[in-house]
Amino acid sequence: MPMPRPKTILISSGFPMEAAQSLQFGSYITWGVATVTFVHGYCTGYADGQRSMAEIISEESEGEAMTLRISRLKTKELNLPLDILVEPDADGFIAKTPDLPLYGYGDERDEAISNLQSEIETLYEDLMADDNFSEEWLQIKAFLRGRVVN
Amino acid sequence: MKNSQFNSHDVKTCCENKLDIQFKDGGELNGWYLLEGKKVRRVTVSKGRKELKPKTYKSMASQLGLSVEQFDNLLDCSLGGQDYQSLISAALSPGSAETH
């Protein structure tokens, strides 16, 4: 009997941060024990030496959710990557991060991720403007202040 | 879930009229709900009159601190601005299990 396929591609916690940060798009995933890296859709590594990341996503995720990490926003860098979940939403995709109450929608995965990156940056700018926030937002402000590099 | 009955413009208009949210025009429209002068909820709405996909609809409800059913009620008029304020006040009161 074949193993059931998970709906989420998991991130490798052991992936070197400096390597992730050196990627222009800054994302990497693992599938099982294998790790692949990519730069905005271009595979730069192979999961098992046989399949590219694009092949893995198309073959294994079957259109279901996947997670990845970003290490930059639209114009700002992150000193530690943020986990991103991208999943189908009707005929498009929605990207979210468990760390922030935000989402980005797009017709394609990349567009959803890009919109979420914009959302994070816009939120960061909102939060840095003043301190007139509830306690939960002040905690998010502290979180982002520690993550975002101007 | 009544996402098919509304579009992004409906959400924007409802947030503006019922919750006094003022949207800032960026890549998307972002607005803060103020409770007692403090920013306590932030919602993102797409520009234009875009169809609301199910998970996007849920995410908007979550951003406003509402269940999907409450969000439905907010949009179809049965949940008013005062009702919303009461819900958020209760959610933010000490001892409540607050979620975003």
Q: ipTM of this model?
A: 0.88
Residues A95-149 pLDDT 10s: 998 889 999 999 988 899 999 999 999 999 999 999 999 999 999 999 999 999 9
B26 falls within a domain: yes
CA distance A8 to A66: 5
Chain B partners of A132 at a C-beta cutoff of 8 Å? 37-39
Domain ranges of chain A: 17-149
| pLDDT score at A36 | 43
Q: Which of A28-37, B45-54, B67-76 is the least confident region?
A: A28-37
Chain B partners of A90 at a C-beta cutoff of 8 Å? 53-55
B15 falls within a domain: yes
* Cβ–Cβ < 8 Å for A36, A52: yes
Domain count, chain B: 1
Of A118, A119, A134, the CB nearest to B92: A134
Of B24, B27, B56, the CB nearest to A103: B56
Hey, of B22, B44, B51, B85, which one would you mutate to test binding to chain A, going by the most A CBs within 10 A of its CB? B44
B98 falls within a domain: no
What mean pLDDT value characterizes chain B? Answer: 90
What 3 state SS string does chain B have?
A: CCHHHCEHHHHHHHHHHHHCCEEEECCCEEEEEEECCEEEEEEEECCCCCECCHHHHHHHHHHCCCCHHHHHHHHCCCCCHHHHHHHHHHHHCCCCCCCC
**Which domain covers residue B35, as residue numbers?**
3-92
Which two three-digit tokens encode residue A147? 């993550």
Chain B partners of A115 at a C-beta cutoff of 8 Å? 27-28
- In chain A, % of residues over pLDDT 90: 35
Backbone angles phi, psi at A52, to 5 degrees: -80, 170
pTM of the model: 0.73
| pLDDT score at A112 | 92
CA distance A72 to A74: 7
* Cβ–Cβ < 8 Å for B24, B31: yes
